[in-house]
Each structure stands twice: as C-alpha cells, then as structure tokens.
Chain A
Amino acid sequence: MRLRAPSILITVLLVLVALVFFFPLVWMVLSSFKTNSEIFQTPFALPTSIDFTQWATAWEVGNIGQYALNSIIATATSVLAILAFSSAAAFAFSRYRFRGQGIIMGALALGLLLPLQSYFIAQSTMFRDLYLTDTRLALIIPYTAMGIPLATYLLKVYLDAVPEELFEAARIDGAGDFRLFTLIALPLLKPGIATVAIFSALSSWNEFLLALLYIQDDSLKTIPTGLLAFSSRYVTDYGLLFSALSIITIPMVVIYIVFNKQITEGITAGSLK
C-alpha cells in the first residue's frame, strides 16, 4: 500500500498538471493587454490595465474578421456536403445489395488509411490546371472528400442497427426509395449526424497544409493561414500577436466549455473509427 498516495497529494498534483497545461493560454491572454516593452521587461507581471484597444487594432490590421468568415464558409459548406453525401452513401451501403458494392466500399475505405501526402501533390497541379486555386472551392472540395470516408463508415454503422421491418413497413405504405431515405433513415441518423458534424467541422476549421498551398489571395485565407500571414507581417509586434491569438482562441475555449460533452464524444468517436 506504500504507493497509495494520500488523496490531497493527488489533488495537488492534478492542480499542478492542470496549471502547466493552462498556463501558456493564461499567459497569452495576460500578454495581450501589454505593450511590447512590458512584454520584454516584465514577461510574468500582470498587465497594468485590462485595455482592449490592442485587441481592436489586431482585429482591424490582422483582418481577422475576414479570415474567420472564410473559415466559417469553408467549414459550413464542407460539413453540409459531407453530411448530405455520406448519409446518402451510408443508406445505399446499409440497405441495398447491389453489384460492385464491395469494390466501392473498399475504395472509400482506402480513404481511412491514405494520408494527405498520398494525393496533395497531384491535387495541387490538378486544381491549378482547373483554375480552382484561389477560389473557395479549392478548400471545400478536398475538405469534403477527406471527410466522406469516415463519415460514411460511421453513419453506416448507425443505420445497420436499424431494424429492417421499419423500412419494409414504410415500403408497404407506398414510400419510394428517396422517401425511405429522407423520412425514415435521416431522422434515425440524427445522433450520428451530430457526431460526424462535430469532428468534420473541427478538422476543416483547423486544416492548414492545403490552405497554405491553395490560397495565396489574402482575402480568401482561413484562420490558420491568415494568422500565419499576419504573424509574418508583424513578426516583432508581440502585443498585437498575443491579442490576435487570444481573439481566435477564446471563442473556441468558450464553445468547448459549453459543449464539452458533445465535443469530446464527437472527437473520440471520430478517432476510434
């Protein structure tokens, strides 16, 4: 029993670990209220006042509103497309038997295994030749494509659990295939759709490599590449950069704290496949 530490000690340990994890974020917010010289002279001191003018400046010169809007457009469009296309595909795989089913499912399952590196080089030359680079579609198309395999797989698992009689009964009542999908399958898929929406949204929101390669036009950049452009324009304006980081981080932390149950469930389901 010598290894069973007293409960208080473990609590203290947990608080310390939590501090280590949270401290960089707290330091970021505190520093966002400081001027450059304060950051250098007293990096650990509390700011002299909570003054949001630097945040306002960062929002203005950093073009953060535009980047956020671009991120929202790219994320929302891809998530909607993933949900629509994947639930239809999951319905077909789960409820029908047809020629070529195995091959098509296998091809989609490849998407669970293949890394981004296996296709982004040819994708970039293809998008260039099709004049898709520097358009919103340059991100929406790959984000949708990358999300489809896992979403289809998860939604199929949900649909497989639905008893066949439900569909047969509706069929006898005269429902066609499309109505079976929209009136029976989709409502039953709601919890699965919420899960898929959460992890698809997060991965689109945070995606960086493709956004870096396909979008040079500053007015179309999303938050990750926009922030990078901003930070290389204002390399040494630390107060301003801390403000920009805080503006981006705080809403996400708030969203996470409010929806932490759904978000952790969504992300873990998305990774456990």
Chain B
Amino acid sequence: MKATRPWVPYLFLVPAVAVFGFAVLYPVAMTGWYSLTEWNGYGAQVFVGFANYVKIAADTLFAQSFLHVIFYILATLVLEVLVGLILAGIVASRKASLWFRVAIFTPVMLPMVVVAVLWSFVYNPDFGLVNGLLEAVGLGDWQRVWLGDPATALIAICVVSGWVFAGFYMTIFYAAFKQIPSEVIEAAKLDGANEWQLFWRIKVPMIRNAVEVGILLCVTGGFQGFDLFYVLTNGGPYYSTEIPTTYLVRAVFKNGEVGYGSAMAVVLTLVVVVVGLLFARLRRIGAHL
C-alpha cells in the first residue's frame, strides 16, 4: 500500500521507536561504554580500556556465580521442562483435566517476590512445611536449615523455580500435544506401541518445536534469573547461591563499581545473545535433518 505522503509511515513509528530507543537502545550502548571505564557513578569517569574484562577473567567469584547459574539452568530443565513435559503427556490423554491444569498453572500468575516470601516460610526451620513433613513421616534426621545451609540453598531455590514454572511448560506442551492428529496415535497403537513408546517415540518428536522453544526459554530465562535469588538468599550463605545478576547488582548499587558491574552485565548479555542465536541456528540445521 502506498502512503498518501512519504513521511506517514515514520509518523506511525515515532512513539514506539522513541520510547524503545530512549529506555533500551541508548542505555545498552552506554552500559557498553561504562564497561570500559572506572567509575563510581558520580565522580570522574576514567577510561581504562579492557581492564574490567581482564579483572573479570581472574575473578573466581564471578566464575562461581556462572557455575551456579548453570547448575540452576540444568536443574530447572529437569524440574520445569521435563516435569512439565511428562505432566502434559499424562494430562493430554485424559478428559476432565481442566481443574488440574488450573491448579498447576496458578503459581505462574504470582509475583516472584510473593512466591519467594511464601517459600522462605515453607523452608523455615522452625515451623516450615518441609521440615514439618519430614518430621511427620519419620525422617526427622533429614531436617535442615534449607536456605541457610550452603549445601542445600541452591537446590532449594531450584525447587521453588520448579514449583512456579512446571505448570507453565506443562501448559505450552499440553497445547502442542492437543494439535497431534488422533489418526497418528491410533496408527501407532495398532502397530503395538505401548504408552511409553507412544510418548517418547511418537508424541514428543511431534511437538519437537514446542519442546525446543521451551528449552530455549528455560536456558535464556535462567541466565537472567534474579528475583528468587535476591529475596530468598541474596547470594548467601557464603556465596553459595551467588549468580551473575545478584553479584553485579551488589557491585554497582552497593559498592559503586559501575564500570566493573557493567562489564559483568556485558559478559552476561553476550552469553544470553550467543546462546539464543546459536540455538536458532541449531534449530535451522536440525530442521533439515
């Protein structure tokens, strides 16, 4: 379609581009610039080249924070994506599952802070659900200060994340399972496939696209995690739940290391973008196989 005047299309774009450019693109560029400087946010900004990146390479706490977030991503791939996939498979082959899907999806609706405060009580050593249930079933020895113990804090956070998002992935996969034509399932059954084979060999490959998107969301979303970690442990105890974002937020907003924090943000951004692009490429190659 031709515009009545050549500048008309731009007029429609001005508000969106202006807000996005002002609040996202310009700050992205400035964060990149900050990462090359030493600056406390107020005084003189000193250009230091790649010194911040050299410092990152030697920062064992930053390396650890990356290991923690990778552990978190691997754990949530199981607790969210795999659990969601299996639940969706069970639910999709049954009638009257609406109540179940509603129940499991509910936590997705809640602000993460609400979830985190609630679960800090669930894990409370004195009156919490977890220790109470262990006591009730005679496993009192297993009781822990879940969030206060470096050995259990990280996995405890992963479990909360699973509680929230398993229902989310279940919903995505459920919708995809429902798209599979019933003739395909019938044909496989006639060929003598059992439920297990039917699920892993027929149904899951047929919703491959949804599963791939789910994995991508879980991985890239995992790198950006913050809310649960900040409220539940804020990196502690003894840095056992430190992830890149809790670390860099403290560096920038507590310690005034704006340059160093920005360099960490740039590294994290590159990881997220590269993972996202690699994944898109792998999918394109995979689609030709």
Interfacial residues, chain A to chain B (CB-CB below 8 A): 1-4, 7, 10, 13-14, 17-18, 21-25, 27-28, 31, 39-40, 43-44, 81, 84-86, 88-89, 91-93, 95-96, 98, 101, 104, 107-108, 110-111, 113-126, 141-142, 144-146, 148-149, 152, 164, 167-168, 171, 176-177, 181, 202, 205-206, 208-209, 212-213, 223-225, 227-228, 231, 238, 241-242, 245, 248-249, 252-253, 255-257, 260, 263-264, 267-268, 271-273
Please state if B269 and A117 are interface contacts (CB–CB under 8 Å): yes
Could you say which residues of chain A place their CB within 8 Å of the CB of B168?
Answer: 267, 271
Could you say which residues of chain A place their CB within 8 Å of the CB of B226?
Answer: 208-209
- When C-beta atoms are compared, the residue in chain B nearest to A145 turns out to be B23
Q: How far is the CB of A100 from chain B (nearest CB, A)?
A: 8
Q: Known A40-B127, A177-B8; judge A126-B30 contact (CB<8 A).
A: yes
Please state if A120 and B27 are interface contacts (CB–CB under 8 Å): yes
Please state if A95 and B1 are interface contacts (CB–CB under 8 Å): yes
Please state if A242 and B121 are interface contacts (CB–CB under 8 Å): yes
Q: Quick one: which of A25, A117, A255 has the most chain B CB within 10 A?
A: A117
Q: Known A121-B265, A256-B105, A256-B109; judge A114-B28 contact (CB<8 A).
A: yes
- Complex Cα distance, B102 from A256, in Å, reads 8
Could you say which residues of chain A place their CB within 8 Å of the CB of B175?
Answer: 268
Please state if B109 and A24 are interface contacts (CB–CB under 8 Å): no
Could you say which residues of chain B place their CB within 8 Å of the CB of A7?
Answer: 94
Please state if B118 and A14 are interface contacts (CB–CB under 8 Å): no
Please state if A119 and B114 are interface contacts (CB–CB under 8 Å): no
- Complex Cα distance, B114 from A86, in Å, reads 30
- Complex Cα distance, B73 from A211, in Å, reads 25
Select one of A3, A123, A273 contacting B196, CB under 8 A: A3
Could you say which residues of chain B place their CB within 8 Å of the CB of A88?
Answer: 12-13, 15-16
Please state if B12 and A181 are interface contacts (CB–CB under 8 Å): yes
10 A-B contacts, Cβ less than 8 Å apart? Answer: A21-B166, A24-B163, A114-B24, A122-B29, A126-B26, A144-B19, A145-B24, A224-B114, A253-B106, A263-B109
- Complex Cα distance, B2 from A167, in Å, reads 10
- Complex Cα distance, B103 from A222, in Å, reads 26
Given contacts A152-B16, A228-B231, A263-B109, 15 further A-B contacts (CB under 8 A): A13-B90, A14-B90, A18-B100, A21-B166, A25-B107, A81-B19, A88-B13, A91-B12, A115-B268, A121-B261, A206-B110, A206-B112, A224-B227, A231-B117, A257-B102
Chain A binding surface SS class: helix
- Complex Cα distance, B25 from A115, in Å, reads 12
Q: How far is the CB of B193 from chain A (nearest CB, A)?
A: 10
Could you say which residues of chain A place their CB within 8 Å of the CB of B227?
Answer: 208-209, 224
Please state if B224 and A115 are interface contacts (CB–CB under 8 Å): yes
Instruction: Bits for B35-71, please: 1 = Cβ < 8 Å to A, else 0.
Output: 0000001000000000000000000000000000000
Q: Quick one: which of A22, A115, A273 has the most chain B CB within 10 A?
A: A115
- Complex Cα distance, B102 from A255, in Å, reads 12
Could you say which residues of chain A place their CB within 8 Å of the CB of B17?
Answer: 89, 104, 107-108
B82 contacts the other chain (Cβ, under 8 Å)?
A: no
Could you say which residues of chain A place their CB within 8 Å of the CB of B110?
Answer: 206, 248-249, 252
Please state if A119 and B28 are interface contacts (CB–CB under 8 Å): yes
- Complex Cα distance, B2 from A147, in Å, reads 29
Please state if B13 and A18 are interface contacts (CB–CB under 8 Å): no
Q: Quick one: which of B24, B194, B213, B277 has the most chain A CB within 10 A?
A: B24
Closest 3 CB pairs between A and B?
Answer: A122-B30, A145-B23, A119-B27
Could you say which residues of chain B place their CB within 8 Å of the CB of A273?
Answer: 213
Could you say which residues of chain B place their CB within 8 Å of the CB of A118?
Answer: 28, 31, 265-266, 268-269
Could you say which residues of chain A place their CB within 8 Å of the CB of B100?
Answer: 14, 17-18
- Complex Cα distance, B230 from A114, in Å, reads 21
Q: Known A249-B110, A268-B172; judge A108-B20 contact (CB<8 A).
A: yes
Select one of B24, B27, B91, B106 contacting A256, CB under 8 A: B106
- Complex Cα distance, B110 from A13, in Å, reads 25
Please state if B9 and A92 are interface contacts (CB–CB under 8 Å): yes
Q: How far is the CB of A245 from chain B (nearest CB, A)?
A: 6
Select one of A98, A141, A253 contacting B23, CB under 8 A: A141
Please state if A213 and B172 are interface contacts (CB–CB under 8 Å): no
Please state if B31 and A119 are interface contacts (CB–CB under 8 Å): yes
Please state if A21 and B102 are interface contacts (CB–CB under 8 Å): no
Q: Known A21-B107, A205-B111; judge A245-B118 contact (CB<8 A).
A: yes
Please state if B129 and A115 are interface contacts (CB–CB under 8 Å): no
Please state if A260 and B102 are interface contacts (CB–CB under 8 Å): yes
Q: How far is the CB of A176 from chain B (nearest CB, A)?
A: 6
B104 contacts the other chain (Cβ, under 8 Å)?
A: yes
Q: Quick one: which of B13, B122, B272 has the most chain A CB within 10 A?
A: B13
Q: How far is the CB of B78 from chain A (nearest CB, A)?
A: 16
- When C-beta atoms are compared, the residue in chain A nearest to B223 turns out to be A115
Could you say which residues of chain B place their CB within 8 Å of the CB of A27?
Answer: 122, 129
